[in-house]
Amino acid sequence: MEHVNGITGVPIYRYEPIVKEESECRIESLRDGRLYISDPESFNDPFDIQLSIRDLSYRSGFTEEELNAALQALFKGYQPVNAHWLFNENILEELKLWLDGGFSSQENIIHHVKKHLKTFGVQCFSSCYEIPLSWAHYASGHSGFCIEYDLRKMEFAGKNGHELRMHDVTYSSLLPEVCLSEVLFTPHQAIKKLLATKTIDWAYEQEFRLVHFTKKATKIDMPEGLRMNSLIGGMNMSKDNFEKLKGVGKELAIPVCRMQGSSRPGRLWERGDPE
């Protein structure tokens, strides 16, 4: 079976581990129906959200005076209250000082941009629940579980745009550099590159990434356009933990099933019927 209960949007998944000392906590925490936003500094990839930002604008063919004039026109009267999420008050202040010939520099602006990126929170999802390495790495070797969410993209974008964004992760054989001019002239494009680019080694994850611009290392109310749709126990999940998972599913009125060997050609496993 592909979807066990009323998917109205796009199914996305989050793999959850079972750590012995917190097994009950991991499962019990589902009861509040909220979403945990992680701190990216705790991620296992040290290059995550660590792209190099440099001033490479000399490659554009425009003179520094021409670029400064364009930035002066673009940021004249630009206020932090109306600014793109990639900018904050410190960045705009450093930019103004630099453009006015004051005591600042491109390096100072880059420093503040990188510092600002560290204030964002992230939660990671996958487009697939059948990824062997994800069950191994993130769900305790099939002893954990997987949460299926129903993502309604238009509703999510329309009702959460003031503080949340969802990005598909781009995988690259070589992590790109980001030019400071990209950050300043096209922040809506630069922010996706900065927050959602990983090396090709991680492509197996098929990752969707939710970015919160003001909170991290905390729970938030479930965003509009996103809801838990079902719970999937791993093949090696203990009987006790699976019973706990079923209990939570019953309270939340969502189906609970578990992974099992597949009888279909070309597939190792599939999820069984709800229990």
Angle in degrees, CA 51, 95, 60, rounded to 5? 60
- E strand segments, 158-220: 164-168, 170-172, 178-179, 197-199, 207-212, 218-220
Q: How far apart are CA 238 and CA 259, in angstroms?
A: 13
Q: How far apart are CA 77 and CA 149, in angstroms?
A: 42
Q: Lowest-confidence range among 96-105, 112-121, 147-156? A: 96-105
Q: Check whether residue 108 and residue 70 sit in a common domain.
A: yes
**End residue of a domain, out of 117, 136, 153:** 117
Q: Check whether residue 111 and residue 221 sit in a common domain.
A: no
pTM value > 0.85: yes
Number of domains in the chain: 2
The secondary structure of 24-82 as a DSSP string is HHHHHGGGG--EEEB-GGG-S-TTTT---EE--GGGGS--HHHHHHHHHHHHTT--GGG
Q: Is residue 273 very low, low, confident or very high in pLDDT (cuts 50, 70, 90)?
A: confident
Q: Check whether residue 157 and residue 76 sit in a common domain.
A: no
Q: In this predicted model, what pLDDT tens digit does every residue of 224-271 receive, in sequence order?
A: 999 999 999 999 999 999 999 999 999 999 999 999 877 676 666 667
Q: Check whether residue 227 and residue 257 sit in a common domain.
A: yes
Q: In this predicted model, what pLDDT tens digit does every residue of 135-170 receive, in sequence order?
A: 999 999 999 999 999 999 999 999 987 899 999 999
Q: Check whether residue 158 and residue 265 sit in a common domain.
A: yes
Query: Is residue 96 included in any domain, yes or no?
Result: yes
Q: Starting at the edge strand that comes first in sequence, how are the strands of the sheet with 10-16 ordered?
A: 164-168, 207-212, 121-126, 10-16, 145-151, 226-233, 256-261, 269-271
Query: Is residue 233 included in any domain, yes or no?
Result: yes
Q: Which domain holds residue 219?
A: 10-43+120-163+213-271
